Homo-oligomer: A and B are copies of this chain.
Amino acid sequence: MSRWQPGAEQRLAHAGLDLYVDQGYEDTTVAEIAERAGVTSRTFFRYFADKREVLFSGSVELQDEMVAALRRAPDDARPVEAVGAALDAAGRLIGSDRAHSARRHAVITAHHELRERELMKLSRLTDALTDGLVSRGVDPSGARLFAEAGAVVFRVGVERWVAGPPDAELTTVLEETLEHLCDLMGAPGTPSSSPG
């Protein structure tokens, strides 16, 4: 057994998702999540404002990783390459546990209030990516538009990944999704009906 034990926040996040899948999101209480994670409800509220938040425990880290990758991209990288680097960082961070992402995605998709929360998190991610692009010299108006497009690629790419073959790498799926969007937006000669 590993000496390292995941901290309370991570245990709560896993316990929450397990219970939401097993017995339903509505029927799960904070007390049950805390009990399964081996902590008190008071500890729960030290980490999470409500039971929705346990599904978004990694979102700050995800945002930080993506923005850091955006900033690390070479000075002469084009915006699309910088956004690609941010997506690659996201893929490496969350791509190792497809089963977890698939379960999480299923719970969120089934609940209106969870979808609302997810959209807000993505909106904050978009703001952070916008700032990151502006700091790379992209004009603010274009940066906003491009960050939004990056967030679209992230959301759709993760959906494709969890719905696709189990051995696909998230980093690859995100890269292909970005290319797909570039093709759709940028190819003036493409006919309306695509081969799929």
Tell me if A's interface is mostly helix, strand, loop or mixed. Answer: helix
Report whether B77 and A149 are in contact in the complex, using a CB–CB cutoff of 8 Å. no
Judging by beta carbons under 8 Å apart, are A75 and B192 in contact? Answer: yes
- Is A148's CB under 8 angstroms from B155's CB? yes
A39 at the interface (CB under 8 A from B): no
| Interface pair B82/A192, CB less than 8 Å apart | yes
128-157 of chain A: CB within 8 A of chain B: 136-142, 144-146, 148-149, 152-153, 155-156
Stretch in A5-13, A21-29, A88-96, A178-186 touching the partner: A178-186
Of B76, B145, B160, B187, which one neighbours A177 at CB under 8 angstroms?
B145
**Which residues from 78 to 131 on chain A have a C-beta closer than 8 Å to any C-beta of chain B?**
78-80, 82, 112, 115-117, 119-120, 123
B115 touches A141 (CB 8 A): no
Minimum CB–CB distance for A84 against chain B, Å: 12
CB <8 Å contact, A184 and B145: yes
Chain B proximity mask over A46-61: 1 for CB below 8 Å, otherwise 0 = 0000000000000000
Partner of A193, one of B137, B180, B181, B195: B137
Q: Give the residue of B76, B82, B194 whose beta carbon is less than 8 angstroms from that of A142.
A: B194
